Amino acid sequence: MYQNAGLAPELTDELANKRLDIYTDPKITDPCYTEDISKMDNTVSNSANNGHGILANIEQYRSSMRKSEVKVADYVIQNSASVIHMRIVDLAQEALVSEPTIVRFCRAIHCNGFQEFKVKLAQDLAVANNIGQFAIAEDDSIEDICEKVADTTIQRLHEVKDQLLPHQIAKASSVISKARRLEFYGFGASAAVATDALHKFFRLQIATATYSDPHMQSMSAVTLNEEDVVVAISQSGRTKDLLHSISLAQTYNATVICLAPEGTPISLAADIPIFINIDEDTDQFTPMTSRIAHLMVIDMLAIAVTQRRGPDFIEHLNAIKDSIKSLKLDY
């Protein structure tokens, strides 16, 4: 999603091991910086550990930034690999803003200063570059393949976790817990995720169905109403038939949740988008991990809905568990 150049390992290690101090400069006397400093301190202390990567934070908080801070945000996203080598005065000159604006920008994305911002940016870029090391080659051994597939999957899941917005999960689980009917739509590999979701959510006393055929999706969508919820799952976020099914469901007032990359037609069309940003490589030897990321988010939603049911609901889940004991062999 972001354009990154390679980082020297020694730079990443050096930055990661630095002691982080709040950036202060006696030359900075901008009243716009000093007047809100106490308020910003509270914001930083409450939100600094939100678990997102720094580039994800920039995207998340960009809409609430001042115009001058947006200029810094845009420059950093477009030139992230160069920014980690800059001094604060260099970034201010390149972004055509003042040094106090850089400090405000750092606080807006929950960093305690310019040095901390550079460390976190270097860590983000290091993670992105490490993913490329896991590409599978034709002459890899079975041991190499096993290690690379596992490492790639773990790395990508960490990426998704850092980018997830908890309020999206909270809002989606709240809507699902109140649904009269819950339907999962997906094609191809996403259909397998939809089937897994069916197995999880029908246990939660919600009328649940899964459709991976566009005709079935369309026919079912026109029977929905404002009490119903559709969860559309897409790795690309651009599937034309899925977009048509979403539109039909919304025409009949159903709420649409989606699992798709940010900024894609499907995420823009959904009422409650859950962004899963994984840049899939089409190389035949590169494992696809977006399916596993989707399964992880489905688990998050199912657990969140279960939690909303309260402690008494455990008896119902135990009854379901007991009902299938006879289907298993005793050892």
For 30-64, the pLDDT digits (tens) are 333 333 333 333 333 333 344 457 888 888 888 89
pLDDT reading at 267 higher than 60: yes
Give the Å distances, CA to CA, from 328 to 200, 325, 331: 19, 6, 9
Q: For residue 104, what pLDDT is reported?
A: 93
Give the integer Cα–Cα distance in Å for 79 and 326: 60
Residues 167-193, mean pLDDT to the nearest whole number = 95
Residues 104-133, mean pLDDT to the nearest whole number = 79
Give a yes or no: residue 234 inside a domain.
yes
Nearest to 75 by CA among 53, 101, 50: 101
SS3 183: strand
**Domain termination residue (choose one: 81, 110, 130):** 130
Q: Which residues contact 163 (CB under 8 A, 6 or more apart)?
A: 52, 53, 56, 275, 276, 277
Ramachandran category for residue 218: left, alpha or beta (phi over 0 → left; psi -120 to 50 → alpha): alpha
Give a yes or no: residue 146 inside a domain.
no
Q: For residue 197, what pLDDT is reported?
A: 96
More confident residue, 2 or 291: 291
Same domain as 119, residue 217: no
3-class DSSP string for 227-274: CCEEEEECCCCCCHHHHHHHHHHHHCCCEEEEEECCCCHHHHHCCEEE
For residue 186, give both structure tokens: 């997906």
Same domain as 271, residue 222: yes
User: pLDDT class for 310, splitting at 50, 70, 90?
Assistant: confident
Are the C-beta atoms of residues 201 and 233 closer than 8 Å to each other? no
Give the integer Cα–Cα distance in Å for 86 and 290: 34
Same domain as 317, residue 208: yes
Same domain as 191, residue 60: no
Residues 20-38, mean pLDDT to the nearest whole number = 36
Can you say whether the dihedral through the CA atoms of 144, 283, 155, 73 is positive or negative?
A: positive
pTM comes to 0.61
pLDDT reading at 313 higher than 90: no
For residue 71, give both structure tokens: 């200029």
Q: At what angle do helices 214-221 and 240-251 cross, to 10 degrees?
A: 10
Give a yes or no: residue 4 inside a domain.
no
Mean pLDDT score across all residues of the chain: 80
In the chain, the number of structural domains is: 2
CATH number where 107 lies? 1.10.10.10
Give a yes or no: residue 138 inside a domain.
no
Q: For residue 23, what pLDDT is reported?
A: 34
Give a yes or no: residue 157 inside a domain.
no
**Domain termination residue (choose one: 102, 130, 158):** 130
Same domain as 79, residue 195: no
Same domain as 199, residue 87: no
Same domain as 180, residue 320: yes
Question: 67 lies in which domain range?
Answer: 9-130
**Residue 153 exposed, middle or buried by CB count within 10 Å (0-12, 13-18, 19+):** middle
Phi/psi at 55 (nearest 5 deg)?
-65, -35
For 219-255, the pLDDT digits (tens) are 999 999 999 999 999 988 999 999 999 999 999 999 9
Give the Å distances, CA to CA, from 116 to 3, 17, 19, 21, 87: 21, 11, 9, 7, 12
pLDDT reading at 211 higher than 60: yes
**Domain termination residue (choose one: 111, 130, 149):** 130
More confident residue, 158 or 247: 247
Same domain as 71, residue 19: yes
Q: For residue 324, what pLDDT is reported?
A: 84
Give the integer Cα–Cα distance in Å for 97 and 83: 15
Give the integer Cα–Cα distance in Å for 235 and 150: 20
For 276-309, the pLDDT digits (tens) are 988 655 555 444 788 899 999 999 999 999 999 8
Q: For residue 199, what pLDDT is reported?
A: 92
